[in-house]
Structure 1
Amino acid sequence: MEPSCLQSTMALGLSSKKVSSRNIAVERKNLITVCRFSVKTLLEKYTIEPIDDSSEEFVNFAAILEHILSHRFKGDHGPVSWFSSDGQRGFWDYIRLACSKVPNNCVSSIENMENISTSRAKGRAWIRVALMEKRMSEYIATALRDTRTTRRFYDDGAIMLREESTVLTGMLIGLSAIDFSFCLKGEIMDGKTPVVIDYTPYLKFTQSSYDYLSDEEDHRSLESSTSEDSSPDHPYLPLVTAEDSWYNKWRKMEQKFRIVYAQKGYLEELVRLRESQLKDLEAENKRLQLRLEEAKVQNQLEKRELEGVILELQEQL
C-alpha cells in the first residue's frame, strides 16, 4: 500500500472513531436531558391527579429510564457467552446482580412472579416496584457502587459508566415524593414490545416555558401588551393581556408551590427516618460499648487466673 493511501486510511479510521465518540456523547446528553424534563412533568402531574399506568407522563418516563439502563448494554450488540433464563439479556440481569446487596430488596419477589418471564418484562416490573417502594434512587446508587459488575455489563461510553449516572440518581430522588400505583399485568409487561420515547411534550415544554425570563423581560412584555398604541414586533406573536399574564404567573407559582410542598414532605419523612436510624445506631453503639467493657473485665479476670496458675506451676517446679 502506498504511503498516501495508508495515511488516508488512518485518517478515515480516526475520523470514524471521533464521530462515534461524539454520537455516544450526544446520546448520553439527550437521554439525561429528557429524563430531567420527564421527572419535572411527573411532579407537576402529581399535583393535579394520581400517577398510574394510564398516565402518559409515567409511560414516557418508564421508556426513558429503560433506554438509559439499556444504553451501551453489552447484550444489545456483539456476541455474548452467557445469557439470562429466557435466552436474552437485558438491564434486569444487571439490576438482579448489582442490587442484591440492597436491604429488603424486591429482586427475589420479581424473579418469582408467575406472569412475568422475560428479562425485559422483569426489568419493567422492577421499575414499577422500585417507584412504588420510593427506592429507585437507592437501587441505582447501590448498583453503581458495584463498579466491577457495572463494567461487566456495559461498554465504554455507557451512561452507567459516566458521570451522568450520578446526575441520574440525584434526579430520581425527587420521585420519592410521588405515591405511584401500578398493576404488574398487561401488554406492556409482556416484554415483547419495545418502548419508544415521545419527545414532543418536552419540545413543547421548552418552547412555551417562561421560567428563564427575567423580571425585566416580563415587565416589558406586560407593558407592550397593555399599551394601546404599541404593536407586536413580530406579526405572528399573539397579544397577551395583563390579566392573562398574571393568571399564567399565578398558575406557575401554584404548580411550583405544590411541587416544593410535595418535596418538603418527602424530605421531612426522610429526616424522620434518618433520625430513627441514628437513634438505633446510638443504642447499638451503647450495647457494643457495654459488651466491650464486659469483655475487658472478663479478660482481666482470665489474666489474673492465668497468672495464679503460672505461679502455682512455678512453685511446684
Structure 2
Amino acid sequence: MDTLTIAKLRVGAWCVDTALGEMTRDGASVRLDPRTLRLLLCLTGRAGETVSADELLGQVWPGVVVTPDSVYQAIASLRRLLGDDAKQASYIVTVPRQGYRMVAAVGPWIEPGELAPGDIDAVLPPSAQHAGVAARPLPTPRSRRAFMLAASIPVVAGIAFWMSGTQPTKAVPSANTQAAQYQQSIAVLPFSDLTDGMGHETFADGMTEELIGRFSKIPGFRVPAPTSSFYYKGKQKPVADIARELGVAYILDGSVRKSGSTLRVAARLIKADNGFIIWSETYDKPVDDLLMVQDDIAGAVTKALKATISNGAGAAQSGTAPAS
C-alpha cells in the first residue's frame, strides 16, 4: 500500500492526516513533525513486513549522516505518541537484529458510522492478525449514503453550538478562572546541545522530556506534550510567538555543555508576555550515569519552578534582560 498518497490514513485506532501532519484519536490530537510522520509512513507503507534500521535511515534521514541510535530514539518517540508499549506492542514490534514491523491495522480512514454489518472485511497484515487487532470493514455504497444522511444532523447541531460559544452540559469558566489557568501553564522547549561535535543531542532531548514529565505532575499545571514542544526544535522564533501558539504563560529552555567528564546543564525560566528571564540556574554533574543526571536536574528545576511561580514572580526582576 502506498500510504504516502492517502490523505487520511487509519493506523490502529488513530486517524493520521498526512496533509496536516497530525493524528487524532477519541477527540485528542497529536502533532507530528515531518521526520516522525515520514517514519510512520515508511512503516505503514510496508505494514506486516520487517523494515531494517538501514532502510529507515535511508528513507527518513536521506542525505544526513546519523547513527542507528537515531532510529531507536525516533521509534521510541513514535511509540510514545501512539500510546504503544514495546513489551506488548500493538503498533510497532521490534524484531531483534532485523528491524521494526508495523502490526496495527492500516488502511484508508473511514469515518465511524459509515459501516454496515456484513460489509467486506478490511485486509490486515498477517502479523496484525496474530496480534489480535480487530479489522474494520470497508464501506459499501449503501452504507455510505445512509451514513451521510444520518451524520448531517449531529454535524449541523455541533456547528450551532460552536458558533454560540457554549456547550449544553458545560459551564463557561469565568474570566478570573481562565486567567488563573493561564498563569499555571508552561512549555519546555528542546534543550540545545552545545557540546563539541553536538554528541549529546540524545541527552538534551531526554532532559527536555524528563522536565515535561515532571512539570505535568504538578497539580494544576498545564504543560504542552513533547510533540508540541519538539516542533520548535531548531526554529528561530520569538519566545512571545511560541508562547502564544502553545497557549502558555511561561517558557523554560536551556542548554547542555561538556568539559572533560563534567556535564553542565543550564536552565532558564522566561515570562512569555515580556520575554524577561525571571529565574536561571546551572547544574554541573559528572558524566557517569546520564539517567541519574537527568533525574537529579529535573528534580531541582521542578522545585525551583514551583517556588518561583508560587512566590508571584510574574513581573520581570530588575536587572534581567529579555531572552533572545
Same topology, TM > 0.5: no
Which range, TM-score by smaller chain? under 0.3
* Larger helix fraction of residues: 1
Task: Flag the structure with more relative contact order, 1 or 2, with Cα contacts below 8 A and sequence separation at least 6.
Answer: 1
Give the alignment's TM-score, normalised by structure 2. 0.24
Structure ID, larger Rg: 1
Give the alignment's TM-score, normalised by structure 1. 0.25
